[in-house]
Amino acid sequence: MSPVAFASGQLDAFLAAAASTGRPGLPAFPTDLPEPLHFASYELTRSESALLARRVQRAGFAVVDVTEEPTEQNLTALAARLGLGDPFVPPIYRRPGAVTVASSGVSTLTATADGVAHPAVSANGQGLHVDGLLQPIGTVRTSVLLCARPAAQGGVSTLFNSTAAFWALVGEDPQAAETLMGSGVLTRTASVNGSTDQATGPAFAVVDGQLLTRYSRDGNDTWTPAPGQDAALDRALEAMDAMAQPGSPYAAELTLAAGQGLVFANSRLCHGRTVYLDDPAAPRRMLRGLFTRDTAA
């Protein structure tokens, strides 16, 4: 099946990048996920930083295990060791509302008792998405999530290797894959801090020879096919949904324990979380920082 030519030429750019680099996306997840990287503190040595950065670059994510309860300062120190720079705070989080960000740029995510339904501040599940909902594709390159206290039950982090899945879709159904690169295919709508702002763009794009994603299936996504591409888009979403299911080589699940953290390539992977049940005396508490740089080995 030959791909339909879009004015953007995005699929051509993707294939050209593949021809020159071998593969501009990530490989599928291994059958056995790598063990967490154990460190004595968040003040990583140069060799520890390089090891962590390489794992994120090659696998898309890494789990760190440090024997201390993390603080905002720990998160920014870890980011500095990885060459990530200062945390990026999307404008939506600068508004007053349910989700706030400290002066350090680090968010504290915990369920509130006031009935707020947004997943960031509730025990509700969260579908697959990338951070930086309203930002252009590739703005938030790396996300860091540190667990100060896990939930009593549930709260499993889900990862979807969407760029690797897209590569597989290109091989199976290039016409369907190309619909996901259309400039108007995906609209994401904000639902926090009183916002209903929207951002429309491609779900996948090649930027500087690298395949990036803003693919989302979290209920804040609206999909609009280009004229005549309804069936192709339906095939694309059906295939991607199937590849995101547990047991797929493109899907992974993990539960962070206290003192563990997840560093992942936000512009190449999607993530989500299952529902959880809190211990009222010790509610789940996570620290999150968003960064506009990739990890630097």
pLDDT, position 3: 34
| Spacing of C-alpha 172 from chain mean position | 24
- What spatial distance separates the first Cα and last Cα of the chain, rounded to whole Å? 40
What architecture is the 10-291 domain classified under in CATH? 4-Layer Sandwich (3.60)
pLDDT, position 17: 66
Task: Tell me the average pLDDT across 259-264.
Answer: 97
pLDDT, position 25: 66
pLDDT, one tens digit per residue, over 132-170 is 999 999 999 999 999 999 999 999 999 999 999 999 999
Q: By C-alpha distance, which of 142, 133, 253, 109 is closest to 186?
A: 133
Which two three-digit tokens encode residue 87? 């945390």
pTM, full prediction: 0.92
The answer for 54, left when phi > 0, alpha when psi is -120 to 50, beta otherwise, is: alpha
pLDDT, position 114: 62
- Rounded to the nearest integer, the mean pLDDT of the chain is 89
Task: Tell me the average pLDDT across 113-120.
Answer: 65
Higher pLDDT, 188 or 123: 188
pLDDT, position 178: 93
Question: Model confidence at 1, in pLDDT bands (50, 70, 90)?
Answer: very low
Question: Model confidence at 210, in pLDDT bands (50, 70, 90)?
Answer: confident
Task: Tell me the average pLDDT across 66-93.
Answer: 94
In Å, how far are 208, 251, 287, 290 from 254, measured between CA atoms?
Answer: 31, 10, 17, 20
Q: Alpha-carbon distance 136 to 159, whole Å?
A: 21
Q: Is 206 helix (H, G, I), strand (E, B) or coil?
A: strand
